[in-house]
């Protein structure tokens, strides 16, 4: 018990300090994403608090930070605008449609967890993962460029003069502190991001620099400030959104898209944090937690959310490893909303942009440049494709496209690997020894290996070096058998796997006469029934 407690409290200091840093970085992000979605800043802040707290406690990846994200916000734009158009002017019906959609999104995500669909993230190839992090780093970088603009006459224009110089200076100073602090031996364990924010904020406040702050950022976007209260149960959604087929058909596609984007981003961020911490998270548990968090968020008037790769990396780099770091980040965010709004609004945007630029540098897989000439061209194509699609469209489209292209490339390469070595027995029987996987992509090449017309009267097909993978392969075998039978020739099949034989017997009783069961070959028995052999024998 003592060891258990010691392991749990050994990292408390790092978790708390890292959580505070993350909370500071969450404020402008949540506000910005709320503006993107076309809703009040508090809707984004409440989502960051509730999703972050619930997933930190119940999620499948300690140390991972969740909240309102840009990937979800860009989809919500059209949802909110279309919803508003369906109601009366000033009714703000789009906001209630958003809450209903977030609840349905959460239900879909919980179903994904119940059916254990989280494990499918393992099917995502490494080039897709590298493309994902590179694309996301570019997206984070581009999103921060918007902070270098100010509102003039109702339009966003680039900063100029002293405002631009101050902004660049604060960003550079923040990055310099975060880069240099870990290099000082006595300061290695200090939270560089938090110290950088405090130092830069102190300089800006005491020097009375005329720079953009969190408060001015919120007001420029149309908000009234950071101040708010506890999130309250919002049952008005159920009276505003009619439970009709029209409403369901309107919100269901958005809910499915949002659920898919949220799960893909969360599970891929989980994998990335796994690599950074050299530990293993639970994808299915994360699906359940994300789903439950979004249901509650929708009920309490939040815009929903998922894992945030930037804030997760800030947390991990700051030493946050346990659930406490995410809990502290969520609770501190609520404290800022309730009690610390006047102080947080004074934090210069430049300090937070500097932190995010360091996240970009830490997120981007710089090794991808080093391996350009060392990996297959198809993998390089997938890496670039996923990066580009992440920037142009969104994460879900990019990852799905990358997985599809990788699967097609894999199928094509395996389709060309089917081989048939031919030899003759002393009794005149022709042997076809099949090498390579037999599946839908290779059946055409498989069929071309046989010369039914010119083959002798006795033929054997040996599958010991091949694996029959799908129904298309079974149909190809059946077709070959029928061709030889039509030609009046004897054909026998050897070394088929047990499951393949069972399927063939079910499909056609004639295979009882064609498949050779009595085979005295230890290689075949080892390949067909590995569970019958001692573990040590297989390892040797």
Tens of pLDDT, residue by residue over 404-428, are 998 888 888 888 788 889 999 888 8
pLDDT surpassing 80 at residue 526: no
- DSSP letter for 213, please: B
Tens of pLDDT, residue by residue over 138-157, are 887 887 888 888 877 778 88
Output the 3-class SS for 443-483: HHHHHHCCCCCCCCCEEEEEEEEEEECCHHHHHHHHHHHHH
CB atoms within 10 A of CB 4: 8
Closest CA to 73 of 261, 288, 353: 261
Q: Token pair for residue 259? A: 């659920």
The label of the residue with tokens 């069961």 reads 517
Residue 424: burial class (beta carbons within 10 Å; 0-12, 13-18, 19+): exposed
Quote the pTM value.
0.73
Closest CA to 314 of 274, 371, 358: 358
| pLDDT range class, residue 519, cuts 50, 70, 90 | low
Q: How many helices (H) and strands (E) are present in the chain, helices listed first?
A: 25, 8
Closest CA to 65 of 397, 320, 446, 406: 320
Closest CA to 195 of 21, 11, 12: 21
Per the DSSP assignment, residues forming a β-bridge with 433 are 421, 462
Q: What is the pLDDT of residue 175?
A: 93
Per the CATH hierarchy, to which homologous superfamily does domain 416-539 belong? Answer: STAS domain (3.30.750.24)
- DSSP letter for 301, please: T
**Domains in the chain: boundaries:** 9-364+371-407, 416-539
35-54 burial, b at 16+ Cβ within 10 Å, e below that, comes to bbbbbbbbbbbbbbbbbbbb
* Half-sphere exposure in the Cβ direction for 382 (13 Å, CA): 24
Q: Token pair for residue 122? A: 């393992």
| pLDDT range class, residue 219, cuts 50, 70, 90 | confident
CA angle 156, 159, 162 (to 5 degrees): 150
Rounded CA-CA distance 326/25 in Å is 13
């Amino acid at each position: 018990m003592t060891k258990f407690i010691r392991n749990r409290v050994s990292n408390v200091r790092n978790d708390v300090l890292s959580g505070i840093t993350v909370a500071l970085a969450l404020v402008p992000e949540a506000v910005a994403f709320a503006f993107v979605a076309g809703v009040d800043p508090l809707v984004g802040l409440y989502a960051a608090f509730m999703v972050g707290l619930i997933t930190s406690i119940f999620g499948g990846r300690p140390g991972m930070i969740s909240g309102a994200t840009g990937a979800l916000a860009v989809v919500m734009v059209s949802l909110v605008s279309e919803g508003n158009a369906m109601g009366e002017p000033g009714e703000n019906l789009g906001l209630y449609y958003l809450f209903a959609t977030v609840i349905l999104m959460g239900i879909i995500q919980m179903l994904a967890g119940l059916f254990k669909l989280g494990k499918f993230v393992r099917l995502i190839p490494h080039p897709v993962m590298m493309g994902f992090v590179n694309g996301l780093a570019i997206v984070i970088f581009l999103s921060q460029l918007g902070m270098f603009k100010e509102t003039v006459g109702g339009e966003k224009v680039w900063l100029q003069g002293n405002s631009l110089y101050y902004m660049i200076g604060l960003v550079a100073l923040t990055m310099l502190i975060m880069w240099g602090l870990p290099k000082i031996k006595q300061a290695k364990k200090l939270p560089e991001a938090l110290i950088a924010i405090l130092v830069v904020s102190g300089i800006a406040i005491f020097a009375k620099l005329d720079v953009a702050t969190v408060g001015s950022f919120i007001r420029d976007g149309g908000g009234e400030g950071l101040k708010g209260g506890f999130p309250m149960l919002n049952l008005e959604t159920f009276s505003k959104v009619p439970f009709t087929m029209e409403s369901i058909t309107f919100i269901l596609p958005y809910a499915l898209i949002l659920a898919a984007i949220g799960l893909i981003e969360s599970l891929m961020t989980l994998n990335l944090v796994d690599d950074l911490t050299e530990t293993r998270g639970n994808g299915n548990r994360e699906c359940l937690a994300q789903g439950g968090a979004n249901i509650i968020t929708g009920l309490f008037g939040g815009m929903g959310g998922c894992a945030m790769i930037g804030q997760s990396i800030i947390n991990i780099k700051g030493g946050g490893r346990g659930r406490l770091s995410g809990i502290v980040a969520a609770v501190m965010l609520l404290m800022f909303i309730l009690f610390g709004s006047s102080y947080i609004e004074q934090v210069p945007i430049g300090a937070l942009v500097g932190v995010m630029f360091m996240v970009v540098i830490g997120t981007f897989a710089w090794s991808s440049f080093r391996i350009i000439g060392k990996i297959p061209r198809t993998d390089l194509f997938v890496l670039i494709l996923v990066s580009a699609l992440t920037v142009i469209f969104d994460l879900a489209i990019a990852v799905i496209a990358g997985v599809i292209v990788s699967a097609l490339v894999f199928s094509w390469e395996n389709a060309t690997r089917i081989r048939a070595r031919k030899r003759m027995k002393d009794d005149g029987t022709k042997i076809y020894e099949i090498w390579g996987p037999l599946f839908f992509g290779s059946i055409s090449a498989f069929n071309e290996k046989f010369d039914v017309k010119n083959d002798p009267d006795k033929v054997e097909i040996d599958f010991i070096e091949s694996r029959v993978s799908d129904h298309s392969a079974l149909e190809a075998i059946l077709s070959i058998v029928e061709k030889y039978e039509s030609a009046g020739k004897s054909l026998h099949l050897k070394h088929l796997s047990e499951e393949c034989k069972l399927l063939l017997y079910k499909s056609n009783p004639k295979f009882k006469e064609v498949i050779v069961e009595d085979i005295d070959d230890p290689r075949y028995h080892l390949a067909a029934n590995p569970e019958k052999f001692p573990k040590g024998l297989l390892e040797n």
